[in-house]
Amino acid sequence: MAMIKCKAVISMVVIALLSLGCATLKKGPREPVWIESEPSGAEVWINGRLRGPTPFLQDLLSARTYLFEVKLKNCGVASFVISGHLGGSYVAFDLFSGVWPCIVDGATGSWYVLDATGAYITFHCESGERPDVLIRPRSPRAKRAPFVP
């Protein structure tokens, strides 16, 4: 009786793992994006909607393109785009793994990765110069840590 229960549990675990794709297990359909500014407190607008002040951290869907506008009163606006694109290694692994992982990762959008994980904006309030924008490119070692230029 105990052996049957053990086999049933193992079978359920194997089925659950096989029903997920590689990208769904590793990262899911969202990725964290970190925005910092000097001075802090700038407004972060994403696709025309105010999302909050800097320092700013939010998980965004990887399959989309985002227009960021970081605004600091009397100091200017910094604009940049972060886009999602197909992550080739996830697609290749899923193709190797079979049809079901391709369906799962394709449907959830987990195949996509953002081309950047954050940005650091320096405003030049006294001089009136345009803000400097330093984009943090995608890195395999990127974590949810703050970006320090």
Domain assignment of residue 8, yes or no: yes
Domain assignment of residue 144, yes or no: no
Domain assignment of residue 145, yes or no: no
Domain assignment of residue 146, yes or no: no
Closest by Cα among 31, 25, 11, 28 to 97: 25
**Cα–Cα distance, 68 to 98 (Å, whole number):** 37
Which of the 8 DSSP states describes residue 149?
A: -
What string of pLDDT tens digits covers the 149 residues of the chain?
A: 677 777 777 766 665 555 555 655 566 778 899 999 989 899 999 999 999 999 999 999 888 899 999 999 888 899 999 988 777 666 666 666 666 666 676 667 677 778 888 899 988 888 878 888 888 876 554 444 444 44
Domain assignment of residue 132, yes or no: yes
pTM score, whole prediction: 0.71
Domain assignment of residue 119, yes or no: yes
41 is in which domain, residue-wise?
A: 2-137
Residue holding tokens 């391709």? 102
Q: Report the amino acid identity of residue 82.
A: I
**Cα–Cα distance, 79 to 44 (Å, whole number):** 10
Domain assignment of residue 148, yes or no: no
**Cα–Cα distance, 62 to 112 (Å, whole number):** 5
- Please name the residues in contact with 52: beta carbons below 8 A apart, sequence gap of 6 or more: 43, 44, 58
| Total number of domains in the chain | 1
Residue 8, CA distances (Å) to 3, 11, 26 in order: 9, 5, 26
Domain assignment of residue 129, yes or no: yes
